[in-house]
Homo-oligomer: A and B are copies of this chain.
Amino acid sequence: MATSRQAVDKRRVILDAAVRVFARQGFHTCRVSDIADEAGVAYGLVYHYFQSKDQVLDTLFLERWDVLLDAIRETDSLDLPATEKLAAIAGFIIESYRHDPDLMKVIIIEVTRAANSFGGAHIGKISEAYELIAGVVRKAQATGEFRTEIPAEFAVMAFYGALEQVLTGWIFGLLDQGDEAYEGAKAHVVETICRGLAA
């Protein structure tokens, strides 16, 4: 990993460059040399820090997904109505997009939705998020806040699916963006799903 006292962490530089390149050209379409160029670094250095092109994307995804997982766990541990927990989770994801659209674009397009390539490889990690959210729903069903007719697994799919679809809409320019749009989306998604789940 990070070894000595260098002015800049080239590993990080490469990772950040990769985000831009992946967001712009897509993972499959770009060449490793594109990443190196964008980072202002020699081709071989990418392989000094990473074992493969794939590993660059894996690193990007795992870094960020673990943050998300922590955020969900944190939220879940709070003593709040499920509706507010889900609002917090949706809020976190949407804020992530607002804060770094390129990174979220890469994670969604190249991993989360890319069931044919990296999505399959990271199914386990992705499912962890589903499972955590399902836990929120189950607890709410136990307390009577949510009705029990809808299995928690479906509730999660509806919630996460709706959210991801909205993000995808932004990424593709199918949906308006901007601060009000983000706030609106946050409210609408949570409202729609929670009304659907509420007892």
Contacts and interface: CB of A to CB of B under 8 A. Distances in A.
A158 B197 CA distance: 13
A53 B175 CA distance: 32
A144 interface: no
Contacts of A96: none
The contact size tier of chain A is 35 or more
B110 A116 contact: yes
A19 to B, nearest CB: 14
Contacts of A116: 26-28, 109-110, 114, 117
A127 B157 CA distance: 21
B166 A163 contact: no
A117 B28 contact: yes
Contact of A158 (B154, B184, B189): B189
A91 B168 CA distance: 24
A161 B170 CA distance: 14
A127 B155 CA distance: 25
Interface string A146-177: 00011101110110111111101101101100
A126 to B, nearest CB: 9
A148 to B, nearest CB: 12
